[in-house]
Structure 1
């Protein structure tokens, strides 16, 4: 099999060279684009603060596939299994509810020490960590408001939670030598007709300003803010709308998070990347697959995933765009979901890197749209799969669907024993 893959790789290099693309260079570039895997796929967004707690804030994990992680140790073991089947650089994205403590800790009192095991594990795995405050699934978020809450004490609780989260994020960056991107998303909104839409946004603006007032080293920590169109229980009004956070990120020069499922069904985030990059220093992309709404299905190698990857590569945004995944499917094997989604994101990035972008841009500039379309379509048929297989070889991961056999063995030996 190795000989066949080598032969396919040599032929693929020649085919891409004829099209003006250096396949070797594409693989080198791919190693500059880590994908941040999301811890919450492994346990259906439950965390370890209160494993019996119900999800709130418009979040639902559907399905009851056996074997979800019940402890941080189990989750880390599952992540290691998934990561061993995914080639290239990776990161891990943690939520605050994934802390580890022998005694209960309120969210406004979380500290770096509660994530020390995660940091030690990340060092051993040679991973960077990203972070998120958890502003949902809590008694003080039960009425649908957190950072925009009209009650000063409740709002301050969430402000202090986000402040504590920033310090944890900075701790990650300092310990691991790579900046942690900390993303703030809140579920705040109303189910029905809303009379005063301004006051909650004024409170949110002031709360965010207080949260980011402490200056942290950008080499360790990056602030990001994330909008949403609506959520269950917030169908009529979402405080943190796209317009709100675009204005906030632009005026405060934070990173802006674009989530693939957080816009109207006919909107796509790939078209927003180049516009947003004119005004904000960085983007965080939450790559997901919405099906009619923000349902967070496993990422496919579909047109929008490819378009997102192409925008990053075509505009040379390697150092300004952070790629994270955000889906949680409990109807299928959770480790397989990680592997499928992450490999697809990386495949899309590779395909983008194998595009003759300079030639296409020149044709576009010259107004030769016929040749532009012809080349775009023809390059889809070039043997990018052989280049992907070479990449998997280089990183000692399965090049084809044989990874599923490993997942099945793990399921039988580990997951079904839980």
Structure 2
């Protein structure tokens, strides 16, 4: 135990107590907020299909840092290394292309057995699993359309893929005792002018209704749908817009996924949370960092990440908001990217939990906006870092930047030995 960290922790507790903030209660709550790490950071969204082709769907992972995971076992080993450096509760988010099979499997024929090793591993790691159908990087998505495709045969293939994915998601929930959130995102859209937008959206609506027609236990599986503003190859028209999916989630009772990079550069998802929560039962958040376009950079402890955390905590949305991460950077150490992004999300949650929210709310209700602003700014300087370091130490995790030494050792001994 680091005595300096413990001394700082005791002082921090006293400082927060003076504002009627129960630090122990905050840490207990933080332990109960899992962050779902995304598997695709570890291999640049390639997956393990034997017939895997080029990455498509407006997605790009740039860079060639050594050590990309080439097998599921390598990916799991990398994830375990990242987990060791991240305190508190975690989940893992899988895409359908991360199946394991000795023979090629068509995406509309995937089954729970193709993910049984992931489930066994998740049990060992005490993790919940979330899931996603993979509606990109496939010959039948090469023209930019899947669930809204004009061709019945192509559309049927993707409907069946999403239906099979839902059954896998429910299998995760049944085996692991925690509901799996399955997010549907499709890249459907057009590069240039589109005449009959309504027809594309009607087809997407009908296809989604077919996908979710089978009743599944909500204790095992939660459906989510995700919008996007535009993408490469879909600069002029995206079928699954924000308006489309907000309407769909509201009318069908699914979860709505808000991705931090899927809106206009001047929009932020933190401002959308309270509105969406009035109409949909659950929200799935994809916390990311857009730069110029939806480039999915590693999450920072920046204003928007903090604002997202504040919205969750201030409105007590712990049971209705599911936090996932979505970034992929191949220009830096991939394990370090997971650690940086996930720790930042957890730091933001901790800072939000340490806010004197009730006092601030009372000031707002009384119309004392001067005191509200003053307190908001002064509490930013409170010693939350001392609480974070104690929290890391409590979970036997390196509290400061020294964790990078462990990642560098892992890179030298494991990652740089990988070829191809």
Does the pair score TM above 0.5?
yes
Q: CA deviation at 1:255?
A: 0.2
Partner of 1:150: 150
Does 1:68 find its partner at 2:59? no
1:115 counterpart = 2:140: no
Tell me, in whole angstroms, the C-alpha distance in 2 between the residues paired with 1:20 and 1:50.
57
Would you say how many aligned residue pairs link Structure 1 and Structure 2?
A: 418
- Measure the CA separation in 1 of the matches of 2:46 and 2:29: 36
Q: 1:51, CA displacement in angstroms?
A: 6.9
Equivalence map 1:184-223=2 (5 Å)? 184-223=184-223
| Structure 1 residues 177-198: Cα deviation after superposition (integer angstroms, max 9, x where no partner) | 0000000000000000001100
Match of 1:399 in 2: 399
1:32 deviates by 1.2
Give me the whole-angstrom Cα distance separating, in 1, the residues matched to 2:361 and 2:354. Answer: 14
Instruction: Give the structure 2 partner of residue 25 of structure 1.
Output: 25
Residues 373-409 of structure 1: per-residue CA shift (max 9 Å, x gap): 0000000000000000111011110100010000000
2:261 corresponds in structure 1 to: 261
Give the 3-state SS of the residue equivalent to 1:264 in structure 2: coil
User: For residues 100 and 343 of structure 2, what CA distance do their matches in structure 1 show?
Assistant: 29
What is residue 410 of structure 2 aligned with on the other side?
410
Task: Supply the distance in 1 between the matched residues of 2:395 and 2:122 (Cα, whole angstroms).
Answer: 18
TM-score by length of 2: 0.99
CA RMSD of superposed structures (Å) = 0.7
Q: TM-score, normalised by structure 1?
A: 0.99
In the alignment, what sits opposite 1:384?
384
Q: Following the alignment from structure 1 to structure 2, what is the Cα–Cα distance between the partners of residues 80 and 278? A: 38
CA deviation string 1:123-165 (max 9, x = no partner):
0000000000000000000000000000001000000000000
Distance 2:378 2:52 in 1: 53
Report the counterpart of residue 288 of structure 2 in structure 1.
Answer: 288
Matches within 5 A, 1:223-238: 223-238=223-238
List aligned pairs for 1:328-339, cutoff 5 A. Answer: 328-339=328-339
1:295-335 Cα shifts (integer Å, max 9, x gaps): 00000000000000000000000000000000000000000
Deviation of 1:240 (Å): 0.2
Q: How far does residue 50 in structure 1 lie from its aligned partner after superposition?
A: 3.9
Contact 2:51 2:104 in 1 (8 A): no
What is the rounded CA distance, in whole Å, between the counterparts of 1:406 and 1:51 in structure 2?
A: 35
Range 125-134 or range 21-30, more displaced = 21-30
Q: Which residue of 2 aligns with 1:373?
A: 373
**Structure 1 stretches of 5 or more lacking a match?**
none
Cα distance change, pair 51–90 in 1 and its aligned pair in 2 (3 A) = farther
Task: Tell me the distance in 1 between the aligned counterparts of 2:127 and 2:394.
Answer: 18
- Give the secondary structure class of the aligned counterpart of 1:294: strand
Distance 1:394 1:101 in 2: 39
CA distance, structure 2, for counterparts of residue 388 and residue 81 of structure 1: 20
Question: What is the DSSP-based 3-state SS (H/G/I as helix, E as strand, rest coil) of the residue aligned with 2:297?
Answer: coil
Q: Which runs of 4+ in 1 moved over 3 A?
A: none
The residue number in structure 2 matching 1:125 is 125
* Equivalent-residue separation in structure 2 for 1:29 and 1:285 (angstroms): 19
Partner of 1:97: 97
